[in-house]
């Protein structure tokens, strides 16, 4: 079940809210857990068993880690828990990748398992690991199985993040506050996220699909595709994060922000402080720092950066283009740390052009179905393959999608948000402004609903995650 679906918006969510706010406080986590299991099992009920197993193992290991964390056994138990969680992830997500590469290297013909990837397994696996490691570091183990299961399976952030760390939400599991103001804020964020996903990301996704299906490539079309996908993945992913954060607030939870206008960054270092923030901080705290971070000399630090970014790329998908994507960022971050960061400060304009260029290039690699296709797409940006500069098809699609491209470019900056804030500040307390906001949100919701009823292009970008 997707957030951006009629089933979710007009059936599942209203019924869940009625149940959640009807039951007494002591049973709210139970209600939320029940709804989360139904949500997860809607499309693939058999994988609820694997999630339940992950939750039970996390619960048991958490208690054992707390009991023995002052002893040598505590570290071994924590490592075992992390190892088992990663084994589940490797089995479902990466085993065919390893088999394919073994076959390619050895000439063997081992059969692929062709397992369906459980939706959101990368996200909830990281949350189970977060819980166990946080307990090992001193966090109190959760003795209420329902509370822990609610944290791991909570549907608002289950399928596309943000990755919620146990230490950040432990108190909220037992003591969270509700208010009309918080609910209104959550609904506003949900509607904005839906609009970003349906009205911008999906339209840009259509342009990307048209490029992929085209037999009339041109340099202009390649650049349109690169720009469109760079905007598409931002609005799709940040839109889902907005929806998750908004839904969390409705249920009384405060989730970490996941995006902060990454495309205005002046360096790759800054970009990764603004893009998928919860993933970046997770790898920093649970991989980079345990490896030694920057405490063991420059060479070890650069090695740690390479490991973290190879793993970050591999986390996104079981293919070589994702690994290359991660390695590219490792190289760029290393170059910046060694000498480039100081030079980037000399010109804000050139530093932003540099950042956008390499981010866009990285996403062309990211979206390639194969490495060959990714390299072909990059070559096309510079006229590789003898393609013309302009084609009639490219001009047609430029004319058709120019509005959404402009809206996407503006929306990826703080310009629109800053404008609204200035207007709000000048008209603070204005009855007209207070009345206008729900009208605008209602209109957005009606337009989104019309697109969904029409059955418009509505892909789910995170099946492979």
pLDDT digit string (tens) for 356-372? Answer: 999 999 999 999 989 99
For residue 431, is pLDDT > 80? Answer: no
For residue 457, is pLDDT > 80? Answer: no
* Digit-coded pLDDT (tens) for 250-289: 999 999 999 999 999 999 999 999 999 999 999 999 999 9
For residue 456, is pLDDT > 90? Answer: no
Confidence at 440, pLDDT banded by 50, 70, 90: confident
Angle between helix 72-93 and helix 48-68 axes, rounded to 10 deg: 170
pLDDT at 432: 64
Asked which of 50-64, 78-92, 443-457 is least confident by mean pLDDT, the reply is 443-457
- Cα separation, 58 vs 451, whole angstroms: 41
pLDDT at 18: 95
* Digit-coded pLDDT (tens) for 17-59: 999 999 999 999 999 999 999 998 887 788 888 899 999 999 9
Helical segments of 196-267, H only = 202-213, 219-250
Half-sphere exposure of 170 (CA within 13 A, CB side): 14
**Does an H or E element contain 444, and which?**
helix 431-453
pLDDT at 111: 92
Residue 276 a catalytic site member? no
Q: 146 and 33 in contact (C-beta within 8 Å)?
A: yes
Three-state DSSP class for residue 339: helix
Confidence at 133, pLDDT banded by 50, 70, 90: very high
- Taking residue 363's Cβ as centre, other Cβ atoms within 10 Å add up to 19
Closest CA to 408 of 188, 205, 162: 205
* Digit-coded pLDDT (tens) for 209-237: 999 999 899 999 999 999 999 999 999 99
Residue of 147, 232, 276, 316 marked catalytic: 316
Per-residue pLDDT averaged across 404-429, rounded? 82
pLDDT at 433: 67
- Cα separation, 79 vs 56, whole angstroms: 17
For residue 462, is pLDDT > 70? Answer: no
Per-residue pLDDT averaged across 71-84, rounded? 94
Q: Look up residue 1 and give its two tokens.
A: 């079940």
Per-residue pLDDT averaged across 290-295, rounded? 89
Question: How many angstroms separate the most distant Cα atoms in the chain?
Answer: 73
pLDDT at 99: 95
């Amino acid at each position: 079940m997707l957030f951006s679906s009629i089933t979710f918006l007009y059936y599942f969510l209203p019924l869940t809210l009625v149940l959640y706010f009807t039951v007494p406080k002591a049973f709210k986590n139970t209600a939320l857990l029940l709804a989360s299991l139904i949500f997860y099992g809607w499309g693939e009920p058999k994988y609820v068993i694997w999630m339940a197993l992950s939750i039970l193992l996390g619960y048991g290991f958490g208690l054992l880690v707390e009991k023995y964390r002052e002893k040598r056994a505590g570290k071994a138990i924590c490592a075992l828990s992390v190892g088992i969680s990663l084994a589940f992830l490797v089995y479902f997500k990466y085993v065919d990748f390893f088999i394919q590469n073994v076959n390619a290297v050895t000439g063997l013909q081992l059969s692929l398992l062709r397992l369906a990837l459980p939706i959101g397994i990368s996200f909830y696996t990281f949350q189970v690991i977060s819980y166990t490691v946080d307990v090992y570091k001193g966090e109190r183990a959760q003795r209420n199985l329902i509370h822990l299961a609610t944290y791991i399976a909570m549907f608002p952030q289950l399928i596309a993040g943000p990755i919620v760390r146990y230490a950040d939400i432990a108190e909220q599991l037992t003591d969270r506050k509700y208010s009309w103001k918080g609910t209104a804020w959550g609904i506003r964020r949900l509607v904005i996220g839906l609009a970003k996903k349906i009205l911008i990301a999906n339209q840009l996704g259509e342009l990307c699909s048209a490029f992929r299906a085209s037999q009339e490539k041109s340099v202009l079309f390649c650049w349109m595709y690169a720009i469109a996908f760079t905007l598409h993945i931002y609005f799709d992913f940040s839109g889902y994060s907005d929806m998750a954060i908004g839904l969390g607030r409705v249920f009384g939870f405060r989730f970490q922000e996941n995006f902060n206008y990454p495309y205005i960054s002046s360096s790759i270092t800054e970009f990764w402080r603004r893009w998928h923030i919860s993933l970046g901080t997770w790898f920093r705290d649970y991989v980079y720092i345990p490896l030694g971070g920057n405490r063991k000399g420059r060479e070890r630090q650069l090695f740690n950066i390479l490991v973290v970014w190879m793993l970050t790329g591999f986390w996104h998908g079981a293919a070589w283009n994702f690994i290359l994507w991660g390695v590219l960022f490792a190289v760029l971050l290393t170059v910046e740390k060694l000498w480039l960061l100081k030079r980037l400060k000399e010109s804000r304009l050139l530093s932003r052009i540099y950042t956008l260029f390499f981010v866009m290039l990285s996403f062309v690699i990211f979206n390639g179905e194969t490495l060959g296709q990714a390299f072909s797409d990059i070559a096309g940006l510079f006229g590789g393959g003898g393609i013309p500069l302009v084609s009639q098809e490219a001009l047609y699609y430029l004319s058709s999608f120019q509005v959404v491209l402009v809206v996407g470019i503006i929306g990826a900056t703080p310009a629109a948000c800053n404008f609204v804030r200035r207007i709000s500040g000048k008209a603070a307390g204005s009855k007209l402004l207070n009345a206008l906001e729900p009208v605008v949100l209602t209109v957005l919701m009606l337009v989104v609903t019309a697109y969904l009823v029409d059955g418009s292009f509505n892909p789910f970008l995170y099946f492979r995650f």
